[in-house]
Structure 1
Amino acid sequence: MRAGEHLTPPPDSRFAREVAERAADELSGPVHQHSLRCWQWANAFAEVDGLDVDAEQLWAATMLHDLALGAPDHPDYGCFAALGADHAARLVAAHRGQAQAEVVRAAIAGHFHPAVPAEPVARCLHSAVELDVVGYRLREVDGGLVTATESAHPRAGFGEVFTTAMRTEARLRPHSSAAVLWRAGARVPMALNPLAR
């Protein structure tokens, strides 16, 4: 099996293409590659955990979950995840309706919370982000998929960009989940992530 055959392609729809365009336009290169890796990890965890997920909801959640990472302070939002979640939900609502937009909004808003969510899309995103950032549950993912994903979506520069963004979050939104995790020492598991070596 060739490496690329391990990868899950994105959904084939106008909505999915608009999500891809939004991510490519608004995310930095390293964060865009992180989002593409999270799509692969999220699909893997859906299979590992036996979860039934809507592919387009999962695509939107994984590709848009960091839209507001490091964004300027906003008086109505105490966390970058909540701000980005609302941005993403507006795009989803235009194509898939308010109910599906709420699934994506909730998944993105909670993706940095320490507790693992129960809703399938949110749970898959949460697990995917934890794997990509700190290597959590790496042994549960097929080695061929890991090799293919890391080759297709390299993480060059991601550690530096993400660390800078976390410092910005801690300064701008000191009571957010990201800020609390950063002050609690998140940089240590990030540095020890086996995928980052």
Structure 2
Amino acid sequence: MRIADFAPPDTAAARAARSIAVEYQSKAITDHAIRSWLWAEGFAVVEGLREFDHELLYVAALLHDIGTVTEYDNHTISYEHAGGHVAVALTAGAGWDADRRQRVLDVIVRHNWPSVDPEFDVEGHLLETATALDISGAHADALPPEFLLEVLEEYPRGRLADEFSACVTDQAERKPTTSARRLVDGGVVRKLRENPLERLR
């Protein structure tokens, strides 16, 4: 398994998602998004999941934290819902139908669920599993070590632990009924710091 095995979709929506991510997010958060997409594709291989929407997964991965940036933050809803609505607007411009736009919103929202059954939502399962690996180190032994190292070398973690800790703590304080509060109460700051991927750099 190599990065070269997973080419980003060459579509208007995928290119726009990457552009928005790079323009508005820090490098650490954007690299986290790209790693999450690569981990998701890797988990699909090791779990034998072949039938899923690669473009939708890519767009959702690149934009799953866009709701944390100042320009897209929403004071009344969770950052994952805010980011999902950014993806809805972006994919509407790319010509996606209403059902597929709803799917990208659902997948982004579900990345913060404790788990997602692949039979219920395969893309949601892959993104949740991938972000859990990148944030807390869950299932780090499920992907080949050489793939982990290659991805981390190409897209380094940088200041992700510090930046995301500050971001999710701020979200939890301002929006205590959202999933950010559950993440903070569940020890996400410690998990970021102790993530085994930090030691592979």
Q: TM-score when scaled to structure 1?
A: 0.91
Q: 1:4 to 1:114 in 2, by over 3 A?
A: closer
Shift of 1:114: 1.4
CA–CA distance in 2 between the matches of 1:160 and 1:181?
15
Residue correspondences, number: 193
Q: By how many angstroms is 1:149 displaced? A: 0.5
C-alpha spacing 1:132/1:31, structure 2 compared with 1 (3 Å): same
Q: Structure 1 residue 120: deviation in Å?
A: 0.8
Q: Which amino acid aligns with 2:68?
A: L
Q: Which of 184, 198, 201 is the matching residue for 1:196?
A: 198
Shift of 1:148: 1.1
Give the corresponding residue for 2:7.
9
CA shift at 1:167, angstroms? 1.1
Query: Gaps spanning 5+ residues in structure 1: where?
Result: none
> Any residues of structure 2 matched to 1:96-115 within 5 Å, and which?
96-115=96-115
Partner letter of residue 58 of structure 1? L
Aligned equivalent of 1:28? 26
User: What per-residue deviation string (whole Å, max 9, x for no partner) do you get for residues 32-63 of structure 1?
Assistant: 00001011001011112222211110110100
The 2-side partners of 1:144 and 1:11 are apart by 24
Q: Distance in 2 between matches of 1:36 and 1:24?
A: 10
* 1:172-183 equivalence runs, <5 A: 172-183=174-185
CA RMSD of aligned residues (A): 1.7
- Give distance in 2, aligned partners of 1:107 and 1:69: 17
What does the per-residue CA deviation read over 1:88-128, in whole Å, with 9 as the maximum and x for residues that have no partner?
11111222221111111001012112132430111110001
Q: 1:70: how far off?
A: 5.4
Matched, 1:124 2:122: no
**Structure 1 residue 140 and structure 2 residue 138: aligned?**
no
Query: What is the alpha-carbon distance in structure 1 between the residues aligned to residue 109 and residue 166 of structure 2?
Result: 20
Answer whether contact 2:75 2:175 (CA < 8 A) is retained. Answer: no
The one-letter code matched in structure 2 to 1:97 is: D
Q: Which runs of 4+ in 1 moved over 4 A?
A: 70-73
* Contact 1:64/1:88 (8 A) holds in 2: yes
Percent identity of paired positions between Structure 1 and Structure 2: 27
Q: TM-score, normalised by structure 2?
A: 0.89
Aligned to 1:159: 161
Q: 1:184 aligns with which of 173, 183, 186?
A: 186
1:106-160 per-residue CA deviation (whole Å, 9 max, x = no partner) reads: 0101211213243011111000100001111111101221111001101111111
5+ unaligned residues in a row in structure 2: which ranges? none
Q: How does 1:60-75 map to 2 (within 5 A)?
A: 60-69=59-68, 71=70, 72-75=73-76
Give distance in 2, aligned partners of 1:25 and 1:190: 24
CA contact 1:93–1:100 (8 Å) conserved in 2: no
